[in-house]
């Protein structure tokens, strides 16, 4: 996953990546053509010498390029699988005409998915959710909204225990640890109350009619559309319950909250954590 330190990210001047005649963009095209000829070890060794190291997870390493885009490099089979799934999830979402709720992918190694070149982002923090999403106080609430709309089909007048159990299985509202910021645990009754609360009703009204109050509501609406078009198996709702999988990007000269790691499916989630 791409994580740029917040202090650095906040100072980045947004770059128009469409201007393909820029020297930074042209240089990256030449670099990426070269990288496609490398195996994974050669790729990582070259980038360690020639790019800015950003961070490393269990299966992918991130590097920052001159035009403020990032490379996600796989360093094992799971990383290759995550790159492939992320590319498919993001492409399916963008091709369906919905708003770009994921980190934008500019280029991919289509032969074996050794790398993706993606939009630069910084990881979100708990305070981003009430800042960018009016009426949303926590990442758990942000993850529940699009999934609840999918499961309940927009009808919250009859919240059955059976559907609530499905929601519980596909989100992290129970026994959730928020990146060292304390444990947040939601009971079924608390979730019921949230689903019928005025802020939630307002947001779901906007989403169901695609009359968004702010850009990040459009992100929630797009995640809902993605679930509706592809089913819950296409993207693990559990993963949306952690701040690490949300981030802030520069779009239209302002910062915006999106999902920064779409490199998983429910099958991938259970392979990693079961």
- CATH number of the domain bearing residue 107: 3.30.200.20
Q: Which of 94, 122, 150 is the last residue of a domain?
A: 122
Is a pLDDT exceeding 70 seen at residue 40?
Answer: yes
**Model confidence band, residue 2 (pLDDT cutoffs 50, 70, 90):** very low
Tens-place pLDDT, residues 162-188: 999 988 888 877 654 444 444 556 788
Are residue 91 and residue 216 in the same domain, yes or no? no
Are residue 106 and residue 179 in the same domain, yes or no? no
**231, part of any domain:** yes
Tell me if 186 sits within 8 A of 174, measured CB to CB.
yes
Distance CA 9, CA 68 (A): 10
Are residue 15 and residue 136 in the same domain, yes or no? no
- The burial of 192, by beta-carbon neighbours within 10 Å (0-12 exposed, 13-18 middle, 19 or more buried), is given as middle
Q: Which of 89, 122, 155 is the last residue of a domain?
A: 122
pLDDT of residue 273: 52
pLDDT of residue 125: 87
Q: Which residues pair with 70 in a beta bridge?
A: 64, 118
Distance CA 20, CA 247 (A): 26
Determine what percent of the chain is predicted with pLDDT higher than 70: 76
Distance CA 84, CA 115 (A): 9
Please tell me the total count of domains within the chain.
Answer: 2
pTM value? 0.76
pLDDT of residue 266: 64
Q: Which domain holds residue 254?
A: 128-273
How many other CB atoms are found less than 10 A from the CB of residue 115?
A: 27
Tens-place pLDDT, residues 81-95: 889 988 888 887 766
**205, part of any domain:** yes
**What mean pLDDT comes out for the span 195-215?**
89
Is a pLDDT exceeding 60 seen at residue 7?
Answer: no
Are residue 60 and residue 39 in the same domain, yes or no? yes
Are residue 85 and residue 217 in the same domain, yes or no? no
**25, part of any domain:** yes
Determine what percent of the chain is predicted with pLDDT higher than 90: 8
pLDDT of residue 89: 83
Among candidates 218, 208, 248, 223, which has minimal Cα distance to 89? Answer: 223
* Residue 118 per-residue DSSP state: E
pLDDT of residue 28: 52
Are residue 248 and residue 150 in the same domain, yes or no? yes
């Amino acid at each position: 996953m791409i994580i740029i330190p917040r202090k650095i990210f906040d100072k980045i001047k947004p770059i128009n990546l469409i201007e393909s005649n820029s020297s930074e963009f042209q240089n990256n095209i030449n670099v990426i053509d070269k990288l496609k000829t490398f195996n994974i070890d050669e790729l990582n060794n070259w980038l360690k010498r020639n790019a800015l190291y950003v961070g490393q997870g269990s299966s992918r390493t991130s590097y920052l390029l001159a035009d403020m885009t990032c490379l996600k490099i796989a360093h094992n089979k799971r990383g290759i699988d995550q790159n492939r799934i992320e590319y498919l999830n993001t492409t399916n979402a963008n091709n369906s005409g919905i708003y770009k709720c994921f980190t934008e992918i500019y280029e991919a190694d289509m032969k074996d998915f050794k790398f993706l070149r993606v939009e630069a982002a910084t990881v979100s923090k708990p305070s981003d959710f009430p800042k960018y999403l009016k009426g949303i106080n926590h990442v758990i609430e942000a993850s529940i909204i699009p999934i609840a709309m999918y499961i309940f089909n927009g009808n919250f007048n009859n919240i059955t225990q059976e559907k609530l159990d499905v929601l519980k299985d596909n989100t992290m509202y129970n026994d959730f640890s928020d990146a060292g910021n304390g444990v947040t645990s939601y009971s079924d009754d608390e979730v019921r109350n949230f689903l019928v609360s005025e802020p939630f009703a307002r947001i779901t009204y906007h989403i169901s009619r695609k009359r968004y109050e702010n850009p990040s509501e459009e992100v929630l609406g797009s995640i809902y559309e993605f679930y509706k078009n592809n089913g819950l198996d296409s993207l693990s709702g559990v993963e949306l319950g952690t701040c690490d999988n949300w981030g802030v990007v520069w779009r239209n000269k302002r910062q915006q909250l999106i999902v920064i790691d779409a490199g998983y499916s429910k099958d991938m989630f259970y392979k990693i954590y079961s």
